[in-house]
Structure 1
Amino acid sequence: MIAHEAGQGRPLVLMHGFELDHRSMLPLESSLADSSWRRIYLDLPWTEQAVPGPVASAQDVADGVVNELRDRLGDEPFAIIGHSFGGMVARHVAHAMRGQVLGLATLGAVFTADHRKRVLPAREVISAALPDQAADDDFLEIAVIQTPGTLAAFNEFVLPGLRGTDQQVTGRIAADYALRREPEAAHPEPFEAPSLHIFGRQDHVTGYEDGLALRDHYVRGTFAVLDAAGHHLYMERPAAVSVLMDDWLTSARAHAPALPR
């Protein structure tokens, strides 16, 4: 499940979205490479490198991540970041392992599993600056900023995971996409570790209203809705995301006990 590691220091776990792989999170390296964190990128069960297993639901994925982190990290404190479906799983991990979680960050996270119940903005493209036929439908259907730069990032970091997805695995999970209980309901005590929740104003996949509704639960939480940003907001607004990430990591580092000498 651990696909890539970089850096040294406290563990920082990164989880990608549905039908993608760890490469979709690598654009964050530009803002994390100089941090004092050991970045641990996970590959979830449908990816090319995943070991086939009986994963049949979102809950199976979430439980598998908890077990993996307990096996690999023991009781070592860590922070966690998740995008989209990975954000839903990260919320589960952060609550289930609350005693050792230094911080939680979500990017365009799933807060309402049932697509029909999500509060979503209308589909909108803010910038379209590509020649005709320059991009395929996978990019055009999701991108809010359609420029050569965002297309290049999509082709390098997102498309390989899409092409390598095991559709049988994602089909089973899609049929049982919700966790048994929402993490905030299963663990209703206020979440006191520093948290960061970034949304795209034009994200028509997961939206932002459902996440904002939980702001009182995350008592050390920063909530940001970025304009001119869709579901892949950290590729469309990298500078803004980097500033917010740096601030959150500073808070999470301060929340940590001192490393042993």
Structure 2
Amino acid sequence: MSFCKVSKANIYYEVIGTGTPIVMLHGYSPDHRLMKGCMEPVFAEREGWKRIYIDLPGMGMTTDYEKINNSDEMLEAVVELIHDLLPNERYLLVGESYGGYLVRGIMREYHEQILGAAFICPLIIPDKQNRTVPEQSVVSADKEFISTLTKEEQEDFSSHLVVLDEYNCHRYTNEVVAGQKNADVEFLEKIQKNYRFSFPVDEISFDKPCLFLLGKQDSMVGYKDAFDILDKFPRAAFTILDKAGHNLQIEQANLFNSLMYEWLDRLEEIND
């Protein structure tokens, strides 16, 4: 177990592998297990990449974060951690949901050090009422499996997943819900009152290899708002997947892996 003490938090992190660093930022309320669950299979047969998984303040095993009051300060804590762990190194970023918002915050200031970025169902618009999102829907369900669930489980899965089967529900439980159980709800509610950065985050262009993975049925952050920043990423693959909600990395695992491989291929071409 490793911790990095920064000004306003003691951040838990795990490092796997060696090579070019990739910093993984999960979304709001889960912990590093969300990113580890979807990203480690990508590297099962791929060497040369050092994966750094962290627990954001208020989530997972990170402690001493009470002085953080808004997303600006959340961003500062993550930047400080990166500079402590990777002094003068270049690195990649992968962000899921709120983590994708933080990635763009890091990019705005430190784009020279960043080699590329991948976004999984990224948060584009912090204010929930201003997002363009579809209604939550279930696209397909394994009725036999559903019949084995309690009413509470059925309600939980059908409000967070769009493809209900044993594989998806098992991974969602172990990679998402398990982390959410450790979240400091009171702290997260405080941050949500100052959820938006105090600066315009999507002003700069970033011309290195990127990947945007968006769920057609994502009722949390949607996919349409991401079109507004597409022109800022001239080297981004921009993929909207069907049968994919806000847990796209689970519901479309094979496509997720393939698209991540392709992103890493593009990065390797540049860095060879």
1:14 equivalent to 2:31? Answer no
- Equivalent position to 1:131, from 137, 147, 163: 147
Between the aligned partners of 2:109 and 2:267, the Cα distance in structure 1 is 18
Superposition CA RMSD, Å? 1.4
Question: In structure 2, what residue type is equivalent to 1:124?
Answer: S
Runs of 4+ in 1 over 6 A off after TM superposition: none
State percent identity of aligned pairs. 28
Q: Residues 195 and 86 of structure 1: is their aligned pair in 2 closer, same or farther, counting only changes over 3 Å?
A: same
Between the aligned partners of 2:201 and 2:29, the Cα distance in structure 1 is 22
Is the 2:32–2:60 Cα contact (8 Å) retained in structure 1? Answer: no
Tell me which residue corresponds to 1:198. 213
- Equivalent position to 2:189, from 171, 178, 181: 171
Tell me which residue corresponds to 1:104. 117
Deviation at 1:132, TM superposition (A): 5.4
TM-score for both structures, normalised by structure 1? 0.93
Is the 1:212–1:223 Cα contact (8 Å) retained in structure 2? Answer: no
Provide Cα deviations, 1:124-146, integer angstroms capped at 9, x if missing partner.
11112222534254432110111
Provide Cα deviations, 1:11-50, integer angstroms capped at 9, x if missing partner.
0111111011000112221112333211100110012411
Tell me which residue corresponds to 1:235. 250
Tell me which residue corresponds to 1:87. 100
Gaps of 5+ in 1: none
Between the aligned partners of 2:200 and 2:97, the Cα distance in structure 1 is 15
- Equivalent position to 1:38, from 37, 46, 50: 50
Q: Residues 23 and 255 of structure 1: is their aligned pair in 2 closer, same or farther, counting only changes over 3 Å?
A: same
Question: In structure 1, what residue type is equivalent to 2:160?
Answer: I
1:64 equivalent to 2:74? Answer no
Is the 1:108–1:208 Cα contact (8 Å) retained in structure 2? Answer: yes
Is the 2:138–2:158 Cα contact (8 Å) retained in structure 1? Answer: no
- Equivalent position to 1:142, from 132, 139, 160: 160
Deviation at 1:90, TM superposition (A): 1.1
Question: In structure 2, what residue type is equivalent to 1:177?
Answer: Y
Question: In structure 2, what residue type is equivalent to 1:253?
Answer: E
- Segment drifting more, 247-256 vs 100-109: 247-256
Between the aligned partners of 2:107 and 2:63, the Cα distance in structure 1 is 24
Gaps of 5+ in 2: 1-10
Q: Secondary structure at the match of 1:63?
A: helix
Between the aligned partners of 2:60 and 2:16, the Cα distance in structure 1 is 20
